[in-house]
């Protein structure tokens, strides 16, 4: 598994915790930035990870900002991305098992580093269950195709 990771300045410290966990678990990753707490725009960071996951360069992505909301909104604009904002392990597991979420988002101003590590570990270990959930994810793909292929506004 290869994981793309990024944050804005508001999620920088949480991103560093995620990277520490990935190292401990021996999971390959790329840090797309930011590399300090100097202000950056979260859409730039989210788009870099979402595009890398969409292209198949990385299997999954993790994005952090102050709340996790902005990066989730931005990542979900990219076709093929199913970014899930999770601040508990139950949601993280369900996001993978039921929604086949390929990007996890979290907020540094919402949760602490210990919980974030538990959420990431849970999300990485969970697998998509398919079955009735696959039908629903396929419907999401159909919505994307309709809006992006036919120029619907």
Distance (Å, rounded) from C-alpha 121 to C-alpha 25?
9
Can 98 be counted among the known catalytic residues? yes
Distance (Å, rounded) from C-alpha 102 to C-alpha 24?
21
| Residues 41-81: tens digit of each pLDDT | 999 999 999 999 999 999 999 999 999 999 999 999 999 99
| Residues 88-142: tens digit of each pLDDT | 999 999 999 999 999 999 999 999 999 999 999 999 999 999 999 999 999 999 9
Does 109 carry a binding-site annotation? yes
Q: Which helix (H) or strand (E) covers residue 43, if one does?
A: helix 42-54
The answer for residues whose C-beta is within 8 angstroms of residue 128's C-beta and 6 or more apart is 96, 97, 100, 134, 137
Options 86, 87, 98, 133, the catalytic residue = 98
Nearest Cα to Cα of residue 87 among 110, 57, 56: 110
Does 99 carry a binding-site annotation? yes
Pick the CATH number of 2-149 from 3.40.50.450, 3.30.70.270, 3.40.1400.10, 3.40.640.10: 3.40.1400.10
Place 27 in a pLDDT band, splitting at 50, 70 and 90: very high
Question: pTM, whole model, 2 decimals?
Answer: 0.95
Does 68 carry a binding-site annotation? yes
Distance (Å, rounded) from C-alpha 33 to C-alpha 88?
24
Residue tagged 């999620």 (tokens): 11
Domain ranges of the chain: 2-149
Does 67 carry a binding-site annotation? yes
Options 64, 65, 74, 86, the catalytic residue = 65
Residue ranges with strand state E in the chain: 2-7, 28-31, 60-65, 83-85, 103-107
């Amino acid at each position: 598994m290869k994981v793309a990771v990024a944050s804005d300045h508001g999620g920088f410290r949480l991103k560093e915790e995620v990277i520490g966990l990935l190292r401990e678990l021996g999971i390959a990753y790329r840090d797309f930035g930011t590399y300090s707490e100097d202000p950056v725009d979260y859409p730039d960071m989210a788009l870099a990870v979402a595009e890398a996951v969409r292209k198949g360069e990385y299997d999954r992505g993790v994005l952090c900002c102050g709340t996790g909301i902005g990066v989730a909104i931005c990542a979900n604009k990219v076709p093929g991305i199913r970014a899930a904002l999770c601040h508990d392990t139950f949601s993280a597991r369900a996001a993978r098992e039921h929604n086949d979420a390929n990007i996890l988002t979290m907020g540094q101003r919402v949760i602490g580093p210990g919980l974030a590590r538990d959420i990431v570990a849970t999300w990485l270990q969970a697998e998509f269950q398919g079955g009735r959930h696959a039908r629903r994810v396929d419907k999401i793909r159909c919505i994307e195709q309709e809006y992006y292929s036919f120029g619907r506004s």
